[in-house]
Structure 1
């Protein structure tokens, strides 16, 4: 036998009009169709094994350069096929061709399972996912061998959710690496993975992850239905899926939790949550979720309970400071000056004597300026981004005070507000807090403290009305669940938290045996 190759032949237009077309027993026809349908792209590699007597193609292997393991193809598969075809007569009959197919398939089990494809749509689906396609003369089937290999980022420390104590590894952009990281945490046969494909063009693999017996069937079925109903041409990140499956798409608050830490995901799965992994993104979506989840840091469960509880209460307080401090300052200095001590009121009045703008405009200018500096710091190169943010804030703030545009007290208020925002472990929740801050500044400037209180009531009613995949978003506050307060505003010691939450199918069942 003679091994020949063709890579990226010149030629004709695309003919992907009927990918359900069956596979021809003539290899050259199949190869020509594959080349035409893929636009004769130069990353499509075709290797043929031809009969030395007839020069007809007896077998061929097709793979994508950069997605498949070329070393295995060149050093193992070709040798196996050559050896199998060498024992076949020069002009084999159809029966002998089927024996070639059978022998080759049996011998190729050394690289893993080999599956049959009956239509060109199957060929393109697996070929473009990195698998190698084998074609045999006289066969109406193609065979796919899973020899995927592409460059991927190593498992590294997370840049988004940092912790002093606890695991450092985070997810990568490769789906199978991410599932392996979860398997390392939960070595239980009840950890199930279910993969589907979404995206007419991208054909992105989406994996549903849950622990059988812990996840509620209603939630799991809801996830399947919502994913199956998605009709989109491409999915490039988990954010695409998050927007399409959340229960309250018009709300500022996220009803789908995401994390890039395997230990956080494993802990959530053990609570009965359902995970959604998207190939090509290092973040995993988790549903259902509650508002308190966004205040919880993975480090809370690795430190002692008393210290973790103090930090969690501090985060709740920081959110209220970030949300209400500028609005309260505006309301008090505009409508309620009699609430301030005389000495403080005189000091503020002296600072604002040369400021030409009202407190609301003053706060608005400083908040917008800080948001611009924060965004610039994120987009600039890391080597100078942080320095520009810090130096820019100090220089602009001091210059604005010296120029009499804003008062020194307002600079302090804006700085404390910004620092308080950074205490949130989840970036997803900090975004709505930053947006709502401007709304509260508006009602504070218009109606004073009365407007702020009314705004808080409207906000409370809104979040209490939200649901995440059928589960209450404000649980355990609304509806009130006394047993789940052990891990809400504070965290009780682990030896006291022995009941599973209501989000789990086995709610109320012990997960930790009581001490005798």
Structure 2
């Protein structure tokens, strides 16, 4: 008898099935054991006198469930059922869902996995005695960070709102801008432990179906214990994982995501982070800002050309200085050559060492300014740069022209709207300086050729990274290095949106009528 009792106890403690039991006591015991008897798991039992003392249990997590909603659920259950005549309720489960619960989302669950997911998401679960299913009611807490201005992207002209850490708030911000039934959302849950919600958003009829399916397939293949930020997803699904160039675009501005969706791209939203990813991506995407489309097209075109010029200076200026001062002094005017030679007369290092020291010192100061508290970070970075630069020149460690080049290079690296591309340029400067110190201008040209060949070989979800330059697409040049007037941007990028390529009809002003 004792052996039989022990076996029964063992079977009760280790259920062989994931389905809910018909016994309320067994269900409560299993849930407590699975959740480790955590003190934030609130379990409330109600005895219904009108129904032969049947019991109901409510389970929720304190802190992520709305207490007001839970209180309303309890009042409705106790008052409505007690006011019913005896023996009138045939199906208690059906009666509770239809008569007692005033919340919007109500559904049944049949297994413990779905029950745990609902409870840990902030929902309240109602378990009935004698039934092998439970009722899930929506009671997620409404606590959320307010929609504020973007922190990483400055807004000159345009909407001053940014995404938050709540997934549903972010999808709502996008739906406010795109009020179309074709804006579809596909949901995935990634992370065996964190169970992070990921939403794939696209416009049906504009986005390429093959790219959408490819995104979903790559997400389904992710096997990881936790996802805490979009960087986890980005590392798994991007092409060319060993490339320094960013293969996925990210932003915290809803207007940018809305514009990307209208071009046929796909957005990935991850619960718990204000950054949203978009795919596929091209190199030109990282040199375009949302304000380009909000102001005069001539001004926007000049600013874009300035960005392309800035990326050239940020990438090549230190290496050109090293190559010319070391191997090709004849390229400089005589007056400039004498001035640079006189400044470097007391410098004990060759040009490449001088450049590397200054670049590394500036990167250290910039990184320190980012990691320090906001109240002292800018002051330390600015004062440190001025003091160290001036002291280095006076001590004869570096030349004044080198300080100018490093400062101008750093300023040019801040011209890019995308911080990811800025990091890539910062890293590529160093191998180009080494090439310049060894081979001169030939080494610089060799490094540029390697970079260009690498860029032309990249693809993002099947779309060439350098389009519309490689392959050359004439129609898409209207929104590449320069920006044509909005009324001339009649088509979407050809290689991204292949289903519905027309975005606007040709617009003409009746000048004859206006003159009259």
Equivalent position of 1:104 in the other structure: 96
Secondary structure class of the residue paired with 2:466: coil
Shift of 1:19: 9.0
**Alpha-carbon deviation of 1:112?**
1.1
Partner of 1:3: none
- Say if 2:73 is the partner of 1:81: no
Of residues 27, 34, 49 in structure 2, which corresponds to 1:30? 27
Structure 2 alignment gaps of length 5 or more: 1-11, 510-516
1:448 is matched with which residue? 440
Q: Which residue of 2 aligns with 1:506?
A: 499
3-state SS of paired residue (1:110)? coil
1:255 and 1:299 mapped to 2: Cα distance?
Answer: 22
Question: Where do residues 171-186 of structure 1 align in structure 2 (5 Å cutoff)?
Answer: 171-186=163-178
Counterpart residue number, 2:179: 187
SS in structure 2 of the partner of residue 331 of structure 1: helix
Residue-by-residue CA offset, 1:308-362 (whole Å, 9 max, x unaligned)? 0111110111011000000000000000011111111111111111110001000
Query: How much does 1:86 deviate?
Result: 2.1
1:100 CA drift (Å):
2.1
SS in 1 for 2:38: coil
Summarize the alignment of residues 294-305 of structure 1 with structure 2, pairs less than 5 Å apart. Answer: 294-305=286-297
Q: Find 1:163's aligned residue among 150, 155, 172.
A: 155
Aligned to 1:493: 485
CA offsets 1:10-63 (integer angstroms, 9 cap, x no match): xxxxx9976952212222221121111101111111111124599966111111
Alignment partner, residue 9 of structure 2: none
Query: Counterpart of 1:515?
Result: 508
Matched, 1:383 2:375: yes
Q: In structure 2, what is the Cα distance between the partners aligned to 1:164 and 1:246? A: 31
Matches within 5 A, 1:1-40: 21-40=18-37
CA distance in 1, matches of 2:508, 2:208: 29
1:155, 1:171 within 8 Å by CA — same for their partners in 2? yes
Contact in 1 for aligned 2:89/2:95 (Cα 8 Å)? no
Partner of 1:45: 42
Tell me if 1:404 matches 2:401. no
Q: Do residues 58 (structure 1) and 58 (structure 2) align? A: no
**Residues 163 and 54 of structure 1: is their aligned pair in 2 closer, same or farther, counting only changes over 3 Å?**
closer
Residue equivalent to 2:365: 373
Superposition pairs of residues 465-480 of structure 1, within 5 angstroms: 465-480=457-472
Q: Distance in 2 between matches of 1:482 and 1:16?
A: 70
Say if 1:53 and 1:98 are closer, same or farther in 2 by CA, change over 3 A: closer
> Within 2, Cα distance between the matches of 1:358 and 1:16?
75
TM-score normalised according to structure 1 size? 0.93
Is the partner of 2:122 in helix, strand or coil?
A: coil
Q: Give 1:5's aligned residue.
A: none
- Name the SS of the counterpart of 1:423 in structure 2: coil
Q: How many residues get paired?
A: 498
Q: Note closer, same or farther for the CA distance 1:19–1:201 as it changes in structure 2 (3 Å cut).
A: farther
SS in 1 for 2:381: helix
2:247 is matched with 255
Structure 1: tracts of 5 or more residues without a match:
1-14
Which deviates the most, 207-216 or 100-109? 100-109
RMSD of aligned residue pairs (Cα, Å): 2.0
Following the alignment from structure 1 to structure 2, what is the Cα–Cα distance between the partners of residues 19 and 422?
60
3-state DSSP of counterpart to 1:374? helix
1:129 aligns with 2:124: no
Question: What TM-score does the superposition give when structure 2 sets the normalisation length?
Answer: 0.93
Q: Please state how far the C-alpha of 1:510 moved relative to its aligned partner.
A: 4.3
Q: Distance in 2 between matches of 1:17 and 1:288?
A: 47
